[in-house]
Amino acid sequence: MIKYKRFITIIAISFISIHLKVCAQSGPDYFIFKDSLYDNPIDAANLKSLRIPFKAKMRSYYFFQDLTTNKKEALALGGSLSWNPSIVSNHITGRVTLATSQRIYGQLERDGTMLLKPGQEGFTVLQEYALQFKKNKFLLNVGAREMNSPLLNTSDVRMLPATHRGIDINYLFKEDSYISFGVIDQIKWINSDRFIDLYEFAGFDRNELVWGTANRYKTDIMAFGLYYLNAKDYYHGLYTEYYREFSLKGNPIKIGIQYMHENDIGDGIGGDFNFNMLGTKLDFYLFGLKSFIGYTNVLSVDKAQEVWSIMPYYNMMIFNFFNRPKEQSVKLGVILKLSEVLNLYPNMGFGFTPNSGDAASPNQQEYNLTLDYTFLKDFNLKVRGAFVHQNSIRNLDLTSKDIVDFRVILNYKWSNKF
């Protein structure tokens, strides 16, 4: 009770709430493949939403991963049912979402897919319960819901998304541009059936509120975003991104730059860390094909924390994030549009790390392919495969190994817009 009294008293400094506009993802990629080479993290972090009274999502997910030392495998079936009623007036709406993930197949010795609870157990959870108050350019959210900012997002890479509980207040000063403040206290992770305190989830025996702010400014040809997160005596995080669109000989081009920073603060209960990463990407047309090239550089010897969300690295792929200490990476990809409903997404990424010192680790390469097929209007099938090769480092006795990752995801969406 004391915690909630404190929670309500600091409503004025609430955290960002972003309504998910993109479809659920099926790999560590921050975006699903819907011409995603032309999306940016700050585009996903969008306040726009359409109130739909009833919404259902179904997902079937097969996951297989061979890590040489062990195998992970499971097949799950589940989804969610959401009710978003108008309360008293259109200025006050509610949101309730019940979700489930159930095991169809999964041997205990191949646990770890995160489609299910540990032990290959199915689960059901009240995933969202929230109220929204909207008046003119102000928006207030209270409760547990999906958030989608670069530092706090759904991390929707398996069966169910992550959700966070908190209070946020947003001011939309122009279309697609906003300022947001807020606090959060709990998280439900992607394969969990309960909400727990953020600090407990991070492994600490204490309870504190986490607060942050988000700022986004967008025009027809450019966008800038600045996101900040603060956890007392533990964590300070910053994400900023800028991109600009222009055309060259009639072909659209987009250039993006991102920077991420994390460090310990106060008592440093999580130990000393200082993570910095810089990324840039170029989206363009090559021989009529939508193409992408990205470069990222981890400037520090410390690891990224990523304790409450997956961070949106430009070069993240199906298996790799390319965010190891002192790692530089290059990623190339194209969209092969075979028809209106069938696309292929071939990608390859290369990560380079030091061969000596504290940050030494094997260089690695990932080659992956995603088939994206939409049928019967509301069904979407994704078949994804990745092959990863990690090189040897003889002086450190690190031998090469190969990793195979294969996934089949079937999504179905239904909504009632009356």
pLDDT at 39: 64
Distance between CA atoms of 282 and 287, rounded to whole angstroms?
16
Which residue is associated with the tokens 């094997």?
362
Minimal CA–CA distance to 237: which of 269, 211, 199? 211
Q: Which residues are 313's β-sheet partners? A: none
Q: What is the DSSP letter of 24?
A: P
Neighbours of 399 (CB within 10 A): 12
pLDDT at 199: 96
Task: Say if residues 151 and 116 touch (Cβ distance below 8 Å).
Answer: no
Which residue is associated with the tokens 């207030």?
140
Beta strands in 106-234 (DSSP E): 123-135, 138-145, 163-174, 177-188, 196-197, 210-218, 222-231
pLDDT at 355: 86
2-416 has which CATH code?
2.40.160.10
Q: Would you put residue 369 in left (φ > 0), alpha (ψ -120 to 50) or beta?
A: beta
pLDDT at 399: 67
Distance between CA atoms of 147 and 164, rounded to whole angstroms?
7
pLDDT at 358: 84
Ordered per-residue pLDDT tens for the chain, 418 residues = 444 444 333 333 233 332 322 222 233 444 333 344 446 777 777 776 666 789 999 999 999 999 988 999 999 999 999 999 888 777 899 999 999 999 999 999 999 999 999 999 999 999 999 999 999 899 999 999 998 888 998 888 899 999 999 999 999 988 889 999 999 999 999 999 999 999 999 999 999 999 999 999 999 999 999 999 999 999 999 999 999 999 988 889 999 999 999 999 999 999 999 999 999 999 998 888 889 999 999 999 999 998 899 888 999 889 999 999 999 999 999 999 999 999 999 999 999 999 888 888 889 999 999 999 999 989 999 999 999 998 877 766 666 789 999 999 999 988 875 4
Q: What is the DSSP letter of 149?
A: S
Task: Say if residues 151 and 311 touch (Cβ distance below 8 Å).
Answer: yes
pLDDT at 50: 62
Distance between CA atoms of 81 and 211, rounded to whole angstroms?
29
pLDDT at 24: 28
pLDDT at 395: 65
pLDDT at 398: 67
Tokens at 232, concatenated: 């007392």
Q: Which residues are 176's β-sheet partners? A: none
Total residue length of the chain: 418
Structure pTM?
Answer: 0.87
pLDDT at 30: 41
Minimal CA–CA distance to 362: which of 334, 380, 389? 389
CA angle 399, 405, 411 (to 5 degrees): 160
Locate all alpha helices (DSSP H) within 131-215, ordered by sequence. Answer: 198-201
